[in-house]
Amino acid sequence: MKKTRILTGITTTGTPHLGNYAGAIRPAIVASRSEHADSFYFLADYHALIKCDDPLRIQRSRLEIAATWLACGLDPARVTFYRQSDIPEIPELTWLLTCVTAKGLLNRAHAYKASVDKNVEAGEDEDAGVTMGLYSYPVLMAADILMFNANEVPVGRDQIQHVEMARDIGQRFNHLFGQGKDFFTLPQSKIEEAVATLPGLDGRKMSKSYDNTIPLFGSAKELKAAIARIVTDSKLPGEPKDADNAHLNTIYQAFATPEQGTTFRAALLDGLGWGDAKQQLFTVLDSELGEARERYQALIARPADIEDILLAGAAKARAYATPFLAQLREAVGLRSLTALAQAGEGATKKKAKAARFLSFRGKDGQFRFNLQGADGEELLLSNSYADPKAAGAVIARLQAASVEGGISLVADGELRFALQLDGEVLGNSHEQADAAARDATLQRAEAALASIAAAQQE
Ligand code: TRP
């Protein structure tokens, strides 16, 4: 089974709190342990610069967030864990994408529109205080995602639109430069429905902007102090509590085993005092987070080790990004000057290096593609399509199937063979001189498919 590439970024502007842990960090680490997952998690520190011009805060936050993910059990050997700013291919790709992104698309981005609305309301110029960083934010995010051909992007609801934009932008690039081959996988956003948003001290969503957070790795004393500030009603010990409407209970349930959760709820209904309830919440949190807190303190004390882990992660990420970006540069025409002379000498010579599917428009105006061998020989010819996109989509399916299986070449009773995908006939060879010639051509076609599969996996 092919692995799913899961990618997400964490903007490095703050210190992680309990809400980040329950809503993002914990589920992401659990997901990364699946044998079907190929996870890319990174510190979105270029994104952080958009919202923050305090260098010390950026520096501190990168350290704290990296230490938090490692302390919580992220295994850097298993996933690719890196800093966005260590991958120079990302800003480079951002520019290539910027050049195919419609300005109108970015005009519609929620974050930008919210700023404009605020300005209009305040009677200011529409774009007052709006930087190009904020405006182009979705393009940088598209580059993060498309650079690694992510399939799934776990995000909060506020980020769904950005993932949609990454799809639009990727599709546009594929269409303009792909020539039947899709450079970019189109990503899907993934919202963890099962992970409820954690309420904060005052019952609203836990968020730094509401100043209602519980620190994730504060000392036991700080944790106690935060819990003491959780707002409850004023019912006395012995009076039954409305457990299902108490956010203290919601927080407790997010960290308790199901049995502990049931017992706690029953105790509240039965009159457990809020003071005792807070003590129990502390115990549960301290037992879930105590060990991680110690690991966190140890990591923070050794920033050079974290630096090494992140640089190793960047090297891993770049092993993918560098050759991929080279292909993209080539595709848009940023090529060595000598390449043009070579292409002039004989385009066939260059093409001759690899077997491939090649699409073209026939004299009848219909679109088809053929399978070419490494020497340019036409091994088979597809059915015809009225729409070039339809032909392109079939090629894409065949390219994927060359790796995943489903293609067969079937000799018919005559002197031809058919190209089938999951039993559907998509094309045929020309008629061959005799059965032996047919079988030989069929073998060359098999070899061509194998080399296309190999190229897909590069
Ligand atoms: N913009 C995201 C946020 O604020 C962070 C982010 C940056 C991201 N690049 C990404 C998330 C790529 C997913 C994929 O939450």
Q: Are 221 and 267 part of one and the same domain?
A: yes
Q: Are 19 and 162 part of one and the same domain?
A: yes
Assess if residue 343 is contained within a domain.
no
Q: Is 152 in the pocket of ligand 1 (CB under 6 A)?
A: no
Q: Are 357 and 223 part of one and the same domain?
A: no
Q: Are 237 and 356 part of one and the same domain?
A: no
Assess if residue 206 is contained within a domain.
no
Torsion region of 180: left, alpha or beta (phi above 0 gives left; psi -120 to 50 gives alpha): left
Q: What's the average model confidence in pLDDT over 350-356? A: 65
Cα gap 101→142, rounded to integer Å: 10
Assess if residue 275 is contained within a domain.
yes
pLDDT tens for each residue of 111-156: 999 999 999 999 999 999 999 999 999 999 999 999 999 999 999 8
Assess if residue 209 is contained within a domain.
no
Q: What is the pLDDT of residue 93?
A: 98
pLDDT tens for each residue of 384-422: 999 999 999 999 999 999 888 889 999 877 889 999 999
* Residue 343 predicted with pLDDT over 70: no
Both tokens assigned to 15: 């210190």
Share of the chain above pLDDT 70, in %: 96
Say how many Å lie between the CA of residue 109 and the centre of ligand 1. Answer: 14
Q: What's the average model confidence in pLDDT over 162-185? A: 94
Sign, CA dihedral 179-180-184-186, equals positive
Q: Of residues 252 and 197, which shows the higher confidence score?
A: 252
Q: Are 289 and 398 part of one and the same domain?
A: no
* Residue 349 predicted with pLDDT over 60: no
Angle between helical axes of 220-228 and 274-300 (0-180°, round to 10)? 140
Q: Within a 10 A sphere around the Cβ of 243, how many other Cβ atoms?
A: 20
CATH number of the domain to which 178 belongs: 3.40.50.620
Q: Are 222 and 285 part of one and the same domain?
A: yes
β-partners of residue 205 are 199
* CA distance to 12, 49, 228, 296, per residue, from 84 (Å): 10, 12, 38, 22
Say how many Å lie between the CA of residue 221 and the centre of ligand 1. Answer: 33
Quick one: pLDDT band at residue 2, thresholds 50, 70, 90? confident
Phi/psi of residue 197, nearest 5 degrees: -70, 135
pLDDT tens for each residue of 89-104: 999 999 999 999 999 9
* Residue 458 predicted with pLDDT over 80: no
Say how many Å lie between the CA of residue 381 and the centre of ligand 1. Answer: 44
Q: Is 395 in the pocket of ligand 1 (CB under 6 A)?
A: no
Q: Are 282 and 321 part of one and the same domain?
A: no
Say how many Å lie between the CA of residue 194 and the centre of ligand 1. Answer: 20
Q: Are 435 and 322 part of one and the same domain?
A: no
The whole domain housing 16 covers 4-194+302-330
Q: Is 61 in the pocket of ligand 1 (CB under 6 A)?
A: no
* Residue 338 predicted with pLDDT over 90: no
Ligand 1 atom closest to Cα of 10? 5
Q: What is the pLDDT of residue 435?
A: 85
Quick one: pLDDT band at residue 345, thresholds 50, 70, 90? low
pLDDT tens for each residue of 217-230: 998 999 999 999 99
Q: Within a 10 A sphere around the Cβ of 37, how many other Cβ atoms?
A: 18
pLDDT tens for each residue of 40-49: 999 999 999 9
Q: Are 291 and 321 part of one and the same domain?
A: no
Domain count for the chain, please give it.
Answer: 3
Residues 6+ apart with CB under 8 A from 120: 126
Q: Are 20 and 133 part of one and the same domain?
A: yes
Assess if residue 57 is contained within a domain.
yes
Assess if residue 395 is contained within a domain.
yes
Q: Are 29 and 157 part of one and the same domain?
A: yes
Q: Are 229 and 324 part of one and the same domain?
A: no
Assess if residue 342 is contained within a domain.
no
Last residue of a domain, one of 253, 274, 297: 297
Task: Tell if the pTM clears 0.85, that is, is over it.
Answer: no
Assess if residue 200 is contained within a domain.
no
Q: Is 9 in the pocket of ligand 1 (CB under 6 A)?
A: yes
**CA torsion angle 100 105 106 112 (round to 10):** -170
Residue 270: what residue type? Answer: D
Q: What is the pLDDT of residue 350?
A: 44
Say how many Å lie between the CA of residue 209 and the centre of ligand 1. Answer: 18
CATH number of the domain to which 448 belongs: 2.30.29.80
CATH number of the domain to which 285 belongs: 1.10.240.10
Q: Is 85 in the pocket of ligand 1 (CB under 6 A)?
A: no
Q: What's the average model confidence in pLDDT over 342-371? A: 74
